[in-house]
Amino acid sequence: MTSSLVAARSAVGKDPKIRIPSFTGTRNKPDSLLRIQRLSLFRSLSSSTPNVSIIRAVSMPARSDTAAEPKRSKVEIFKEQSNFIRYPLNEEILTDTPNINEAATQLIKFHGSYQQYDRDERGKRSYSFMLRTKNPGGKVPNKLYLVMDDLADQFGIGTLRLTTRQTFQLHGVLKKDLKTVMGTIIRNMGSTLGACGDLNRNVLAPASPLASKSYLFAQQTADNIASLLTPQSGFYYDVWLDGERFMSAESPEVVKAREDNSHGTNFPDSAEPIYGTQFLPRKFKVAVTVPTDNSVDLFTNDVGIVVLSDDNGEPQGFNIYVGGGMGRTHRNEATFPRLAEPLGYVSKEDILYAVKAIVVTQRENGRRDDRKYSRMKYLISTWGIDKFRTVVEQYYGKNFEPCRDLPKWEFKSYLGWHEQGNGSLFCGVHVDNGRVKGEIKKTLREVIEKYNLDVRITPNQNIILCDIQEAWKDPISASLSQAGLLEPKHVDPLNLTAMACPAFPLCPLAIAEAERGIPGILKRVRAMFVKVGLDHNESVVVRVTGCPNGCARPYMAELGLVGDGPNSYQIWLGGTTNQTLLAKPFKDKVKVQDLEKVLEPLFYDWKLNRLSSEGFGDFTNRMGFEKLNDLINKSVDIAAA
């Protein structure tokens, strides 16, 4: 260890801005370690000299030959031995078997696919693959939508799934068809690269095609972050296109930010300068939005970014929030959902460098031994936000300013007809659970093809038809209505905000129904509303997932149902309509047939005792769970009598 590093460590206690985090190692081979990057640390280290420089780059000490290797999960070994996510997937997809081996199953996630089988069937497993696209901000060109629609019929199960991260999921693709389907998507302005796996996932942004400066800037920022964090080693094209590249042009600012290594962020000699051979410890999620618009569920992301503009509407910089994430494990209190918290403010010119610094901090310090604890939220929970901020600043090279004050958040669905602000219209179409099928699928295709429309997918699993001329409004409305795609005023408000993950039959993690179960659950909730005298336009935010991983973000719902066994749910209460407050676990192991026993007394008391315009989530928080349980118990006693 160098004398300067020893001195720096001894100075940590004297100056809280000086932190040298321990290096746990992201490489197995010494020659692939991040090279040590140091700047001049001090003019003087004497206690009488207050003028001490802030460390701007994290020094990564080389490990001695006797240093013990850190424990790593099996997936870390697969990544290391894969030649940048190629082997053995490149061989497995060419075999005659319907499935791929364990290592390839993990690696194909980085390519945007999961291996699945139909869990409704007994006996021999019927393997297939789910493909997920990458669409920053939910943008889908006309050509790509039509191709995805065709692929669903030709190679899938005849449906498309709109996801909670603004992407498509195509289910039921057989292994023998994977290269054809992947190649078709790539050649038609699409990609699945990084839609799954231990790297940056799809970047969210408001799906509304409003022509305001702030919305356009949010979308452009999402595009740039997605580009910055896209893998560079070419493994995707080597596997699916035999090395042929289909890469869109990148802005100079993205290239500059990726190549910059002035603060020790990069692996200089690696085909993956940001990710290296090991990529990230776990998935990484980013969302960008504008003040008031929380259509993206901002605080559920690893990184949430908010565009800040001046009085003339010109974007000036960003608030950054870090540490959100939904996934947890039942009966393991060390795992938990978490909301992102303020990190700081940066100017608009610095956002890519700040995001890169956050990613690298997680890359170097996130746990790689146990994947249950590998998300960045656990790193921040362990370190605390102050230490996390200090380490990020070392990679960023600047101090963060305090976050700017923001107005109150709102959930915005953008359903129905709206002006874009450029002379055109857009139409937000509600799609129950994001499942595009049957007559709905047929009609959407006809409208999108006839009028040559681009579309956008929303984080609430709906679809927006963009750039519509005024003369097209009436015929489009008529076509949508005939297919059952009704204007929001004709849809039950419960359905408009509800979400569910796919769960059974294809998700291997599901332990209860979600997509197939939520229609009946919503009807029963509406029936309870009617019974206790709640008006027809009353609603609560209901989200249902088949397991605790939380893909439909149930921990933000006013009423979240999380599968915890066959036909059984853990009930979460206390989220809010604008998705700014985390729900809390209320009851475990509630059988689906017993939902009325639990919920009906709560809905009745909400009707009687709520404050003016008080939502159900706010009501349950104000009342407290002890009183809510008393209401349920009294109701049971009355029924028994």
Among 356, 368, 501, 553, the active-site one is 501
Cα separation, 228 vs 258, in Å, equals: 6
Judge contact between 92 and 106, C-beta under 8 A.
Answer: no
Among 19, 79, 132, 377, the active-site one is 132
Helices and strands in the chain, H and E counts = 19, 19
Q: Which of 168, 214, 206 is nearest to 287 (CA)?
A: 206
Pairing of strands 286-289, 303-309: parallel
Among 201, 282, 328, 412, the active-site one is 201
CA-to-CA dists, residue 516 to 137, 205, 503, 520, 524, angstroms = 27, 28, 8, 8, 14
Helix (H) or strand (E) holding 455: strand 455-457
Give 536-557 as a DSSP string: TT----EEEESSTT-TT-GGGS
**Catalytic annotation on 132?**
yes
Cα separation, 457 vs 296, in Å, equals: 11
Judge contact between 502 and 167, C-beta under 8 A.
Answer: no
**Catalytic annotation on 43?**
no
Provide the b/e sequence for 144-169 (b: ≥16 CB within 10 Å): bbbbbbebbeebbbebbbbbbbbbbb
Phi, then psi, of 91 in degrees rounded to 5: -90, -40
**Catalytic annotation on 403?**
no
Judge contact between 14 and 44, C-beta under 8 A.
Answer: no
**Catalytic annotation on 201?**
yes
CA-to-CA dists, residue 500 to 317, 411, 525, 616, 631, angstroms = 34, 17, 15, 19, 28
Judge contact between 326 and 550, C-beta under 8 A.
Answer: yes
Token digits for 145?
């939508």
**Catalytic annotation on 412?**
no
**Catalytic annotation on 507?**
yes
Cα separation, 35 vs 268, in Å, equals: 8
Among 196, 427, 466, 507, the active-site one is 507
Cα separation, 205 vs 163, in Å, equals: 14
Among 165, 258, 283, 356, the active-site one is 283
Helix (H) or strand (E) holding 168: strand 168-173
3 state SS of 237: helix
Cα separation, 16 vs 24, in Å, equals: 22
Cα separation, 105 vs 89, in Å, equals: 8
Pairing of strands 127-132, 168-173: antiparallel
Tell me the helix, strand and coil percentages in the chain, rounded to 5.
35, 15, 45
- Say which residues have a Cβ less than 8 Å from residue 438's Cβ, sequence separation at least 6: none
Phi, then psi, of 517 in degrees rounded to 5: -95, -25
Judge contact between 214 and 297, C-beta under 8 A.
Answer: no
CA-to-CA dists, residue 307 to 122, 406, 411, 538, angstroms = 51, 10, 17, 33
Among 134, 285, 328, 389, the active-site one is 285
Judge contact between 303 and 357, C-beta under 8 A.
Answer: no
Judge contact between 430 and 461, C-beta under 8 A.
Answer: no
* Active-site residue list: 132, 201, 283, 285, 501, 507, 547, 551
